[in-house]
Structure 1
Amino acid sequence: MSNAPHFDIDVSAFWADPYPDLAKMRARAPIAFVPQLGSTVFTRRDDIFSQEKRIDVFSSHQPAGLMNRLMGHNMMRKDGDAHMSERAAMFPAVSPRTVRDTWSRQFQAHADRILAALAPAGRADLCKAFALPLSAECLKDITGLTNMRYQDMDAWSQAMIDGIANYSGNAEIEARCHAATADIDAAIDDMVPVVTRHPDASILSVLLSAGQPMDSIRANIKLAISGGQNEPRDAISGTIWALLTHPDQRALVDAGKAKWIDVFEEYARWIAPIGMSPRRVAKPWSYGGVDFEPEDRVFFMFGSANRDEACFRNPDAFDVTRDHGKSIAFGAGPHYCAGAFASRAMVADVALPGIFGRLNNLRLDPSEPVRIGGWAFRGLLNLPVVWDAA
């Protein structure tokens, strides 16, 4: 175990709002061992930015880790050539060109259909009625698993997210995760002959065409589902909420002084949908006055890094005019999120202009409070709104 200073947290309070504790750690113990999490956490942006690249020390390869045990050995839990070869095989499905030429058009079609059905209602929980189905329908296309319902995509993603964040070892959470991965395997089996006969730009198709082993294909599709559903889903609902609660920032967009991509980038900094990335210490190492031993567990706290006072002025404020050059919402090293281009297109190019352009006088529903939670993965739990239906 590292000799980092200890910092105790209340787990339930940390889940509800981790930022006060993270600010205290940045100020008092920027590299701290948190007993309740069983891990040494990095909280300052520049420390994370430099040390995440040290894959020889802070390894993503975690044979006994929850992700490997529950979802299979995917590229996120590999380093060096093993990681890069699988990343390269997947890249044609999520490249900027593919997003521009293929997925953006399909994203827009899904959003138009969902909004057309939603607009006459005048009231909805946009987490469930818009963000969830849009993200899931888009992810069905990207993964190639178009043989499922969008509700299944969301449920399977959440079950895996809960599973890989299940550091307390809850048996029910683990069982739900196993059931979800079994269902995903069945969906993959159904679609393999379809995309083999009719190749397309989906992850399943490009990985099959690249000759990737089936175990690797299964593991990487599960990886794409685990992050590719909750992150854009939470970013869509979160950016809408952020603008509704910050009318001055919305006014900047309306006046052409900020773009939708600025809103997305600022929200991803302000409330990073992925708040943490785990690592395994691979060899003895000293950094920042802390000695690390092999097999120590480290958490890089992206959610803390993006509110680091040393890098961002007034970091707790939501400011769409901010310079996001130091944001590491999508990671900083070789494991930079492969789906970042698709997420930006889905949220900034499609979801935000669509929702604010179609739902007139959109506003929060005063009869129900908005709830938000999480620290490893953080997002809105509901978004009750009303608007003037045509």
Structure 2
Amino acid sequence: MTAPNRRINAETVDFDQLWRDPYPTFARLRATNPVAFVPQADHYFITRFDDIAHIERHPAIFRASEPRSLVNRVMGHSFMRKDDEEHMVERKIVAPSFSPAAAKKVWSDTFREIAADLLDDLQDRGSADLVADFATPMAARSLCTVTGLTNIAWQDIARWSQALMDAVQNYARDPELARLGQEASDGIDAAIDAMIPVRRANPDRSILSMMLAGDMPLDSIRANLKVIIGGGQNEPRDANSGLIWALLSNPDQLSAVKADPSLWLRGFEEYVRWVSPIGMYPRTVGQETELAGVPLKPGDRLFLLVGSANRDEAQFRDPDRFDLHREESRHLAFGSGPHFCAGAWVARAQVADIAVPMLFERLKNLELDDSGEPARCGGWAFRGLLTLPARWSA
């Protein structure tokens, strides 16, 4: 693109404000500059639903591969950053671990046991931070089993996942975030190396077993498992705590879902639309094109802000409101097209089928604890609750 076009579409963004509450900025960009070049990030911010859907329908033009990406630097070259056959070969290898059938028949019993164990500990306490004491260990313990990395303590997998996510959005080049990301990467590599002979001797339906059975190269195993650990912790953890928060904040909708269990899944889908846990992913322009009237050239880098698209007024009525009864159910929280999130069905099973319904069943008279600091939320590329103080009848 020519320099004048870049200047015309240039946008200065307050990243601190974006972390605290990105939605006013997203709304402004959707209305005034939906394909906005942000010099601080050296990327275009794509904020409208239809534009992101268009990008995902044209993978030959908008490519996932980006050698300069922080994801590649931190995690290695995973299938998330590959295109075409190279992407599909690796995705097909892990598909048996992520299918709807696997979510129901292979992993659900484990998820139920983990949730029951956590709730046994919580039930008599009467109060807790449900991010730290339920959603985080629920996601991390489940992830240890699904990945096949059962030699990692859940506390480590949770910490390493967060360190990886912080490192891949470290656009300010904070050396401490980079160090923690490298430490997490090295720890996961060591855990993988230790478990490879175990999984070869005792194959199962875990992701590592599927990778070994499919003869995936070691570098790809490492990169793909790091990506899965990042998303596989963030998405279910933040959807779990977020759905609890949304329902406790909307008692009429909580009453509705308790009366009709089929609404648990509706609630999950509405929450990940409303506050998308993974709110951004990148693409690179592969050939000269135009988007929303803005000319783009090969090599231009895009941030697809699904956290904005999922609140697009052109797609959703009253988009800033959590409403599990809304008619417009299509969202982009799991992406779309060939890179649709492989773990979507496992996340749905973990959160909507098991963890959240069990929590509301076991913790009687559950409510938000307003005696101290309220629940806090943060992030824009990855957004979720940081704390969720709650209390119930012990």
The unaligned stretches of length 5 or more in structure 1 are none
User: 3-state SS of the aligned residue for 1:40?
Assistant: strand
In structure 1, what residue type is equivalent to 2:188?
I
Q: Contact 1:252 / 1:258 at 8 angstroms: preserved in 2?
A: no
Q: What is the rounded CA distance, in whole Å, between the counterparts of 1:13 and 1:265 in structure 2?
A: 26
Partner of 1:11: 15
8 Å contact 1:143–1:204 — kept in the other structure? yes
Q: Is the counterpart of residue 351 in structure 1 residue 346 in structure 2?
A: no
Check the 8 A contact 2:21/2:378 in 1, yes or no.
Answer: yes
Aligned partner of 2:159 among 155, 158, 164: 155
Q: Note if contact 2:35-2:291 (Cα within 8 Å) is conserved in structure 1.
A: no
Return the alpha-carbon distance in structure 2 between the equivalents of residues 101 and 254 of structure 1: 25
Q: Find the partner of 1:371 among 367, 371, 376.
A: 376
1:134 to 134, 138, 142: 138
Query: Aligned equivalents of 1:257 and 1:132: distance in 2?
Result: 24
* Counterpart position of 1:110: 114
Mapping of residues 232-381 of structure 1, within 5 Å: 232-256=236-260, 259-366=263-370, 367-381=372-386
Task: Give the counterpart letter for 2:66 in structure 1.
Answer: Q
8 Å CA contact retained: 1:258, 1:320 = no
Counterpart-to-counterpart distance in 2, 1:38 and 1:245: 38
> Is 1:44–2:40 an aligned residue pair?
no
The whole-number CA distance in structure 1 between the counterparts of 2:30 and 2:267 is 26
* Alignment-derived partner of residue 189 in structure 1: 193
| Stretches (4+) displaced over 4 A | none
Aligned-partner Cα distance in 2 for 1:341–1:22: 28
CA distance in 1, matches of 2:330, 2:200: 42
Indicate the percent of aligned positions where both proteins have the same amino acid.
50
Structure 1 CA distance for aligned equivalents of residues 218 and 11 of structure 2: 43
1:344–1:145 CA distance, 2 compared to 1 (3 A)? same
- The AA in structure 2 aligned to 1:261 is L
TM-score normalised over the length of structure 2: 0.96
Report deviation, 1:58: 1.6
Q: Distance in 1 between matches of 2:32 and 2:68?
A: 32
Q: Take 1:258 and 1:180, find their aligned partners in 2: how far apart are those partners?
A: 39
Partner of residue 67 from structure 2, selected from 39, 63, 67: 63
Deviations 1:249-284 (A, max 9, x none): 112112328610011000000000011111122222
Structure 2 distance, partners of 1:23, 1:35, is 19
SS in structure 2 at match of 1:120: coil
The equivalent residue for 1:144 is: 148
Conservation of the 8 A alpha-carbon contact between 2:64 and 2:83: yes
Give, in whole Å, the separation in 2 of the partners of 1:65 and 1:30. 22
Moved more, 249-258 or 326-335: 249-258
AA aligned to 2:306 is F
Instruction: Answer yes or no: is the 8 Å Cα contact 1:243–1:250 preserved in 2.
Output: yes
Name the CA distance, whole Å, in 2 between partners of 1:263 and 1:287: 33
Q: How does 1:80-95 map to 2 (within 5 A)?
A: 80-95=84-99
Deviation at 1:7, TM superposition (A): 2.5
Structure-1 separation of matches of 2:60 and 2:126:
54
Q: What do the CA deviations read for 1:337-377 (whole angstroms, capped 9, x no partner)?
A: 00000000000011111110000111111112111010000
CA distance in 1, matches of 2:232, 2:116: 20
Per-residue deviation, residues 122-181 of structure 1 (Å, max 9, x unmatched): 010000100000100110011000011110010010010001111111111111111101
